[in-house]
A and B are shown apart, each in its own frame.
Chain A
């Protein structure tokens, strides 16, 4: 039987990872709202974020702030490239939904393999943003990176809320999510909005990747678990709501942490995927669909 300390410790870790899942989940929602498609390659942005940042720091010796400042726009560009090269031509040709999903999945495999060829299969990591720690609360150790994750997560949620409610672009994006044809008639450049959505979503993924890498590691194949977990977070939160996705991510992170204590680390993905199936089957509209949490991006 695991001790109370062990459970508390894993809960603390779960909150950190859960926030990351939440950020990835928001990325799913942003693209889904703008275009009506689910980007199965979402996890790859998390991988690229951690990877680019580590390479910039270790090979060019850049300070972490500068590395992050270069990484996030770079990954956002990758997101835009994906929209321009794959999603847009398929939408133009009236491709079926499953074909588009499949194309994004193929894009994920392609980016992963290119990363493998370019950077090798060695797991990489870099130190916490601030050295020192962990903070000890009784027996429970809280790494300083967790505070960074919490702080940046909160900041991002506020920034997203402001973006979607106070800026012209953000409102235009919301208009697209409610009714694309009506938005087009109002003179909103819907195609450009999709580009914005992909850039935003990829950028969010990159930030999540940079934040989470010090607490674990990044390698060419970490994308799929993050992508699937982010999707689960988005679904628990009732697909399309940023706040819901964040709450869903926290719930999933904590559940996963408890599963690690109970079943061992190997089965944490099995646990998360089983949660996904149960949620999909029992609550097809998400656990939090009934009430609105934070920034409500999408209305059905």
Chain B
């Protein structure tokens, strides 16, 4: 599997460029704090999805693999946090870490046999994983309350100190999302990240260089699962209610729309895409019931015409500038 998207490196001199999106995110947060609670909620969703997509980007963008079933790990995180905090009275942060660990273990168990597959088989196997967990969340009513959903999940907090309003929570989410991106960026520039890029470029070549391809793929999958789980938990705490539909196929399509629109394989693409895709439908309020149609249409158009997303556009401009400079 080759992917041109991933073999894309920025020179160190452009560091200010990698800081400006963080400033942008902070500005958005301030904007959210100054606006109505509704705007704050929309932005909160955007940053939760940013965490989810950053993880997905790790596996798909950096490593060149595909997972169509990341929603499964978000469901583990969401339901895990809901059950631990509501029924067992755990502390939200403790539940967050516990479900992240659980998702990581689940990803190892599931990924070990699955990641040997390639191409269509990998895509369908991961898709099946997502569907299995979705069906289980519907059918295992004694655990998940089925279609009724799980209500009354406490807001995010730490050792008894709760974040009472959506505005407090938005700040926490922005900090967590930026932290998530920073960790992903750090990993990407490490020896480990370069190994992933090598795998994305060519598996046989990576193998010839002495990279343990199977192990590195599995680690990337686990990292993506942990991010997805964290996003699921945060969603549960942020909304206070979850149902199977939250973690269905639409979640997969929506997160892919964000990832491809923002630019797959780039550091800030997932967050940029998540913010745009979350805010866009609010701007076009009339399209409420057409929302899923709009997501799919945007995704198809992006996939056909700008497969590298908005980040790809910016590098296109950069090349254009470089070409015109000598004149």
Chain A residues in the interface with B (C-beta under 8 A): 37-38, 40, 86, 89-90, 93, 95-103, 105-107, 109-110, 113-114, 117, 224, 228, 231, 235, 266-267, 269-270, 273-274, 276-277, 280-281, 284
Contacts and interface: CB of A to CB of B under 8 A. Distances in A.
B143 to A, nearest CB: 13
Given A93-B307, A99-B303, A113 B293 contact: yes
A270 B304 contact: no
A267 B139 contact: yes
Nearest to B139: A266
Contact of A280 (B121, B253, B293): B121
B289 interface: yes
Interface in B130-154: 131-132, 135-136, 138-139
A103 B293 contact: no
B26 interface: no
B14 interface: no
Interface centre among B116, B125, B135, B257 (most CB of A within 10 A): B135
Contact of B299 (A103, A235, A274, A276): A103
Contacts of B303: 90, 95, 99-100, 102-103, 106
Given A106-B299, A228-B124, 16 more contacts: A37-B120, A40-B127, A86-B300, A97-B1, A97-B120, A98-B66, A99-B260, A100-B303, A103-B303, A105-B252, A106-B256, A106-B303, A235-B124, A267-B135, A280-B117, A284-B117
B307 A95 contact: yes
A41 to B, nearest CB: 11
B132 A101 contact: no
B128 interface: yes
Interface string B151-194: 00000000000000000000000000000000000000000000
A276 B296 contact: no
Given A270-B136, A281-B113, A97 B119 contact: yes
A274 B114 CA distance: 12
Contact of B128 (A37, A100, A228): A228
B135 A269 contact: yes
A27 B193 CA distance: 40
Contacts of B132: 269-270, 273-274
Interface of B: 1-3, 5, 60, 66, 68, 113-114, 116-117, 119-121, 123-125, 127-129, 131-132, 135-136, 138-139, 249-250, 252-253, 256-257, 260, 289-290, 292-293, 295-297, 299-300, 303-304, 307
Nearest to A270: B135
B125 A276 contact: yes
A273 B134 CA distance: 12
A228 B253 CA distance: 17
B304 A276 contact: no
Interface centre among A93, A106, A267 (most CB of B within 10 A): A106
A105 B68 contact: yes
B244 to A, nearest CB: 12
A113 to B, nearest CB: 5
Interface centre among A107, A109, A117 (most CB of B within 10 A): A109
A103 B120 CA distance: 13
B121 to A, nearest CB: 6
A113 B296 contact: yes
A287 to B, nearest CB: 15
Contacts of A89: 304
Nearest to B113: A281
A273 B300 contact: no
A276 B130 CA distance: 13
8 contacts: A93-B307, A97-B120, A98-B123, A101-B123, A228-B127, A231-B124, A235-B124, A277-B128
A101 B66 contact: yes
B307 A284 contact: no
Given A90-B303, A97-B119, A102-B256, A110 B293 contact: yes
A110 B66 contact: no
B124 A276 contact: yes
B123 A281 contact: no
B253 A106 contact: yes
Contacts of B60: 98
The 10 closest A-B pairs by CB, nearest first: A110-B296, A266-B139, A106-B296, A98-B66, A38-B120, A273-B128, A106-B299, A113-B292, A109-B296, A281-B113
Nearest to B116: A281
Given A97-B1, A114-B293, A270-B136, A38 B300 contact: no
